Structure 1
């Protein structure tokens, strides 16, 4: 039997589900925990409370271990556009900004005119919306938040980095 812990993070809540897969392919799912309240709104700035998020994930891992000791794998699924910025020592510079933050408003005009929405779609495979990673990077660059950085990790990679100490970037 194979067992996998899936961490599914949505915009307002998260959950951990343990999947047990039998040798004949049958899957049994067991919800381990649900959690929420990991968004911070400070004035107009909207961020993810990363330390709270990691505490909830670690708690979910411990609860899953009680149900199925030594489960085989862990997977993290999140909203797809947000990221954390690491400094040269590998530390998170600040809580990651959330796609719900309005700081990306107007960023599409920062894209050179020869890069049409169609070309952006062909290159990225995603609809051109100002919440997307590209526009968040432009907004953070405009705010001077990317001056000194070693790397940027999308949220699943950032979470895995904090769990394992290893950066895996594509």
Structure 2
């Protein structure tokens, strides 16, 4: 029995099988693919349907190799999201965090809340790619998708939704939005109201280790798969990377390298 981890970075993704053998975790790469954004009508977007195709390709490889998978976990880069309509359908490809629409939104945001208060409440610096500014950019489009949306799901939560049909937001990825009050471990509903962002968009928060759900009957039928649970992990890729540091004491620093290089300590 093995676990399957999907690790999506901002430039590539991979599927990794994990198994405990003699008390040790062994890992095997099953599938690797590029993650290439697409420029369309002056906007930079993710090719989400292709990424779903790659997930299915990986699941098919595992099946064809006779692997018995008991659980799946997904992590991705932070801040980006998809919008779902009332029927649970994705309303368009998710925007890339480097899309130019975000830049003017920082100053727009400061009309509603000061920079100091926002940093204090969220624990994050005010950077233009944060989800808060992306959502504010959505509100600047008259009759835009956000006004018809019923749910906003961050990227790993969106993959979990496609796999299970369950709409949840994992804690570590929610903290990348700058709309999360870390002191309350919940969405900052007061800030959402101040910014006039509909509360209904934000899914219930779950934590690593919780069961998101089972693979949908549709996916199981399409790929001829056995039942399998999808587990909530540290779904911000940096969170999972840091959690896996093989430190033997609490007195250490880490350097996490990926799209960004992050230096820090565990506190």
4+ residue runs of structure 1 moved beyond 3 angstroms? 65-68
Gaps of 5+ in 2: 169-202, 206-267
Q: What residue number does 1:5 align with?
A: 4
Deviation per CA, 1:80-120: give whole Å up to 9, x if none.
10000011111001111111211101111111346333322
Please give the TM-score of this superposition, normalised by the length of structure 1: 0.90
* 2:146 paired with 1:146: yes
Q: 1:124 to 1:68 in 2, by over 3 A?
A: farther
Deviation per CA, 1:36-78: give whole Å up to 9, x if none.
1442111421111111110001111222334463312111111
- Measured after TM superposition, the shift of residue 159 of structure 1 is 0.8
Q: Is the deviation greater in 148-157 or in 2-11?
A: 2-11
Q: Is the deviation greater in 65-74 or in 38-47?
A: 65-74
Out of 26, 39, 42, which is 2:40 matched to?
42
Alignment of 1:5-84 (within 5 A): 5-22=4-21, 24=23, 26-67=24-65, 69-84=67-82
Whether the 8 Å CA contact 1:38–1:52 is kept in 2: the answer is no
Question: How far, CA to CA, are the matches of 1:124 and 1:23 in structure 2?
Answer: 42
Q: What residue number does 1:102 align with?
A: 100
Whether the 8 Å CA contact 2:31–2:58 is kept in 1: the answer is yes
Greater RCO (Cα-Cα under 8 Å, separation 6 or more): 1
Whether the 8 Å CA contact 2:10–2:35 is kept in 1: the answer is no
Whether the 8 Å CA contact 1:5–1:64 is kept in 2: the answer is no
Please give the TM-score of this superposition, normalised by the length of structure 2: 0.59
Whether the 8 Å CA contact 1:15–1:35 is kept in 2: the answer is yes
Gaps of 5+ in 1: none
Q: What residue number does 2:127 align with?
A: 129
Question: How far, CA to CA, are the matches of 1:71 and 1:4 in structure 2?
Answer: 6
Whether the 8 Å CA contact 2:11–2:34 is kept in 1: the answer is yes
RMSD (Å) for aligned C-alpha atoms: 1.8
Q: Is the deviation greater in 85-94 or in 123-132?
A: 123-132
Whether the 8 Å CA contact 1:19–1:27 is kept in 2: the answer is yes
Give the secondary structure class of the aligned counterpart of 2:89: coil
Q: 1:37 to 1:155 in 2, by over 3 A?
A: closer
